[in-house]
Amino acid sequence: MAEITISGLRHSYDGDLSDPSRLALKGIDHVWRDGGAYALLGPSGCGKSSMLNIISGLIRPTAGRILFDGRDVTDLRPEERNIAQVFQFPVLYDTMTVQENLAFPLRNRKVAPAAITRRVAEVAEMLDLGPLLKRRASRLGAAEKQKISLGRGLVREDVAAILFDEPLTVIDPQVKFDLRRKLKLVHETLKLTLVYVTHDQSEALTFADQVVVMSDGEVVQAGTPEELYERPAHAFVGRFIGSPGMNFLPCRIEEGEIRFDGGRLSAPGLRRLAGQEGLSLGLRPQALQPADAATGVEGEMVGLEDRGHYRIADVALGGARLKMRLAEGVPAPQGRFPVAFRPGSTLVFAGDRLVGDLADAQA
């Protein structure tokens, strides 16, 4: 167990740092606290797997340092770093039994045989692999194989951290749910530092205490799932997290008002942003609601999509189209209707950065 500090990390696969736009990782500073369950979330190609491989030592970063509990490990090889990593597809030693597979990382480190037997039994118990221990690993199904890979990651008790690189991609949804819960349980009992790479937001939000969102080689925000959802610091996080993602409505601030195509909102507290270019309102679908009385903003219903226990209305507001979430029991408006903005959830972005919300502005 260790605290992992990444500082000034930049990486280019051809070793050339001169062109910042071509870097796989563009300058990352981050601290993974000891015992935290982290998800590293981002779209494919954003650099999250590169980051993971740099932490484990499979890739040496072009620039920057990696510290484990303050000790510089940048130049150490993976086997010297005391770290476990589980890959996207099951990696097994075909000639070995399940038991030998689980014992392999311990045997290579010359752990006493009695301790190996005990630890393998514990891990097998944890992952329901007990009955399969004597079987040849190559003859099992994909889910079992991936459980063995997970088991090899969990079998060493003294690791600084366990890294998971989208480990549940090949698993069926039901088993996926079980395994994720198991990992969560393992984390709670062992208090290991876990870093879980995924591009699936629901996986990240359910697994992790802290979610680190990456985009295009940079960390755009790190925070709890609530923070990421309620107050995305960056427009990318707003769009990437949530289904549907955040609405963005271009606006200007003039004379203490937020003005946009289709309406205006009083916001005396935002005068400091007056006249600034590139402002927009960030609105989660539930930040918009149909109002009983006129609010000065009128929308028009374009479509309605039923999502089970809620509905998503497609609303035209001026030239923009917004998604509005309607809870169960709220009647869907017809034609043109007054739109209410929930002040605490109506966020103001300048460029891509969060700069304030309507609640502050009206205070």
Partner 1 sequence: MHKLDDNRAWLLVVPVFALVAFNAVIPLMTVVNYSLQDIFGPGQRVFIGVEWFREVLRDPTIQASFLRQVAFSALVLAIQIPLGIAIALLLPRVGWKSSLAIILIAIPLLVPFNVVGTIWQVYARPDIGLLGRGINAIGIDYNYTSSAVSAWITLLLMDTWHWTPLVILLAFAGLCSIPEPYYQAARIDGASRWAVFRHIELPKLRGVLTIAILLRFMDSFMIYTEPFVVTGGGPGSSTTFLSVRLVNMAVGQFDLGPAAAFSLIYFLAILLFSYVFYTILKMNEGEP
Residues contributing to the site for partner 1 (CB under 8 A): 53, 56-58, 77-79, 83-85, 87-89, 91, 93-96, 104-105, 108-109, 135-136, 139, 149, 152
Closest separation in Å from C-beta 141 to partner 1: 15
- One DSSP character per residue, 117-129 reads HHHHHHHHHHTT-
Q: Of 149 and 215, which has the nearer Cβ to partner 1?
A: 149
Tokens of 297: 């903003």
What is the largest distance, in Å, between two alpha-carbon atoms of the chain? 76
* Whole-angstrom distance, CA of residue 73 vs CA of residue 150: 24
Closest separation in Å from C-beta 132 to partner 1: 12
Closest separation in Å from C-beta 11 to partner 1: 16
Q: Of 7 and 97, which has the nearer Cβ to partner 1?
A: 97
Beta carbons of 251 and 260 less than 8 angstroms apart: yes
Closest separation in Å from C-beta 1 to partner 1: 17
Closest separation in Å from C-beta 187 to partner 1: 19
Q: Of 61 and 245, which has the nearer Cβ to partner 1?
A: 61
DSSP character at residue 261:
T
Closest separation in Å from C-beta 24 to partner 1: 16
Closest separation in Å from C-beta 179 to partner 1: 18
> Residue 230's closest CA among 350, 321, 318, 359?
359
Strand partners, 336: 300
Coil, helix or strand at residue 280: strand
Q: Of 94 and 328, which has the nearer Cβ to partner 1?
A: 94
* Whole-angstrom distance, CA of residue 117 vs CA of residue 135: 16
Closest separation in Å from C-beta 291 to partner 1: 55
Closest separation in Å from C-beta 81 to partner 1: 9
Q: What's phi and psi for 86, nearest 5 deg?
A: -115, 135
Q: Of 53 and 198, which has the nearer Cβ to partner 1?
A: 53
Residue 298 CB neighbours (<10 A): 18
Q: Of 108 and 189, which has the nearer Cβ to partner 1?
A: 108
**Amino acid (1-letter code) at residue 148:** I
Cα 130 to the chain's mean position, in Å? 32
- Name residues whose C-beta falls within 8 Å of residue 291's C-beta, 6 or more positions apart in sequence: 337, 338, 339, 340
List the strands of the sheet with 336-341, edge to edge: 288-290, 336-341, 298-306, 310-317, 320-327
Q: Of 2 and 233, which has the nearer Cβ to partner 1?
A: 2
> Residue 97's closest CA among 125, 127, 142, 131?
131
Q: Of 85 and 210, which has the nearer Cβ to partner 1?
A: 85
Residue with structure tokens 């610091």? 233
Q: Of 197 and 241, which has the nearer Cβ to partner 1?
A: 197
Q: Output the CA–CA distances (angstroms, integers) from residue 133 to 90, 129, 230, 280, 285, in the order listed.
A: 17, 6, 46, 58, 49
